[in-house]
Amino acid sequence: MILGLSWIVLTVVSALLTGWMRRVALDRELLDVPDHRSSHTRVTPRGGGMAIVLSFLSAVLFMALFRQIPVDWALAFLVAGGAVAWVGFLDDHGHVPARTRLMVHTGSALFALACLGGPPAVQFGKLFWPDGGLAWLLWLPFLIWLVNLYNFMDGIDGIAGIEAVTVLIAATVVASSNANPDSILVMQALLASTLGFLIWNWPPARIFMGDAGSGFIGMTLGVMVLASAGQAAVSVWSWLILLGVFLVDATVTLLTRMLFGQRWWEPHRSHAYQNASRRYGGHGPVTVGVAILNLAWLMPMAWWAAVRPEAAWWLTALALAPLLFLAVWFGAGRPEAVPGAD
């Protein structure tokens, strides 16, 4: 009962912080003005994701002080997540060169890996991926990509928030089957912090997350993957399944743009979810669709991969196959594939 009330309080705190940040953004004219690359049509304040950052990191600090989570977990969340949020905050309020952002993201990922004892073992059938340099070379770009793809996928109202909330609900269910209280605590803390923001960001959004919030969630989820997989609470395969909507859309979009010789490093609105929002005439149907996919399809598949670890790799392929089909169907990376696109 006490724990449940604390998450309600955290949600309320995050919602109040978001409302306050909205007023500050309006006063300081920190506004997102629509252009030809935008998926929204009205001027909207941005930077509300800092409410998620402050709420979650405060909860992490509290849990670490009272020994509810390991200290190395708290350090990884506070330092790696905090650094990504800070550079995102600076970028929201001005401009930070891409090279500088990449350096911060890389340093944060390295710190998180080192703080949590290196990459966790990954099971392939009856074999386990060994520790060592090769594992680091795979995990480092994965964490950096997770930070950036979360920023890329934050392009319509509510989608980044609902992705985090539903993924964390599903991850909590999977972790509960393994009775891992540490993982569940941090998952629920981020869930509550994001839910408070989502109240303001639900279509039609009254404030946007901004780079600080989206990058922070990406890094924080990456740290959760490392931490929970290291304790066998939620396997890497289950996490890949749960994060599938964002992973598949962002990756297919990037590869398609590169394949067709587009300037893939520039802002655009050709992600599958953006094309889908134009096809269906609004952000709401796509945001709700992401929630349904995560809870009705990906959550059961992630749970199945958890109880059948020897088959988890092919269950992951099975779970992500429909998402790959949808990404291609909605023309990910090919804006001309959907009427109304650039």
At residue 36, does pLDDT exceed 70?
Answer: no
If pLDDT is split at 50, 70 and 90, which confidence band does 41 have? low
Helix ranges (DSSP H) in 44-81? 50-65, 71-75
Strand partners, 128: 123
C-beta pairs of 173-178 under 8 Å, 24+ apart in sequence: 173/299, 173/303, 174/233, 174/234, 174/238, 174/242, 174/299, 174/302, 174/303, 174/306, 175/228, 175/233, 175/234, 177/303, 177/306, 177/307, 178/232, 178/233, 178/234, 178/306
Task: Quote the tokens at residue 121.
Answer: 């073992």
Note the pLDDT tens digit of each residue in 281-296.
899 999 999 999 999 9
The pLDDT, as a whole number, for residue 42 is 79
Reported pTM? 0.94
Annotated domain spans of the chain: 2-30+43-337
pLDDT of residue 1: 43
Would you say residue 279 has pLDDT above 60?
A: yes
3-state secondary structure of 89: helix
> What's the chain's Rg over C-alpha atoms?
19
Rounded Cα gap, residues 12 and 195, in angstroms: 9
Do residues 168 and 159 make contact, with C-beta atoms less than 8 angstroms apart?
no
- In this predicted structure, which of 144-148, 213-217, 258-262 has the lowest mean pLDDT? 258-262
Determine the Cα–Cα distance for residues 181 and 187; give it in Å rounded to an integer. Answer: 10
Helix (H) or strand (E) holding 128: strand 127-129
The rounded mean pLDDT for the chain is 91
The pLDDT, as a whole number, for residue 54 is 98
Whose CA is closest to 161, among 217, 245, 241?
A: 217
Residue 60 has pLDDT above 70, yes or no: yes
pLDDT at 227 exceeding the cut of 90: yes
Joined together, the tokens standing for residue 10 give: 């955290």
Confidence bin at 2 (pLDDT 50/70/90): very low
Looking at residue 5, what is its pLDDT? 65
The conformation of residue 32, written as its DSSP 8-state character, comes to: E
pLDDT above 90 coverage of the chain, percent: 77
H-only helix segments in 126-158: 133-152
In the predicted model, what is the mean pLDDT of residues 59-66? Answer: 95
Which residue is associated with the tokens 């330092």?
Answer: 79
pLDDT band at 337 (very low <50, low <70, confident <90, very high): very low
Question: With 70 as the cut, is the pLDDT of residue 127 above it?
Answer: no
Please give the Cα distance from 255 to 333 (Å, whole number). 8
Reported as a pLDDT band with limits 50, 70 and 90, residue 37 is: low
Q: Which pLDDT belongs to residue 266?
A: 86
pLDDT band at 147 (very low <50, low <70, confident <90, very high): very high
Range of lowest pLDDT (19-33, 67-81, 194-208): 19-33
How long, in residues, is the chain? 342
pLDDT for residue 340: 40
- Report, as an integer, the average pLDDT of 252-272: 92
Instruction: Pick 1 or 317 by higher pLDDT.
Output: 317
Q: Per the structure block, which two tokens stand in for 23?
A: 């007023």
pLDDT for 126: 67
Which pLDDT score is estimated for 124?
Answer: 76
CA–CA separation, 6 and 189 (whole Å):
9
Q: Is pLDDT above 90 for 231?
A: no
End-to-end Cα separation, the chain, in angstroms = 51
What does the alpha-carbon distance between residue 132 and residue 102 come to, in Å, rounded to a whole number? 24
Lowest-confidence segment of 129-143, 164-178, 235-249, 323-337 by average pLDDT: 129-143
Q: Mean of the pLDDT values across residues 132-141? A: 86
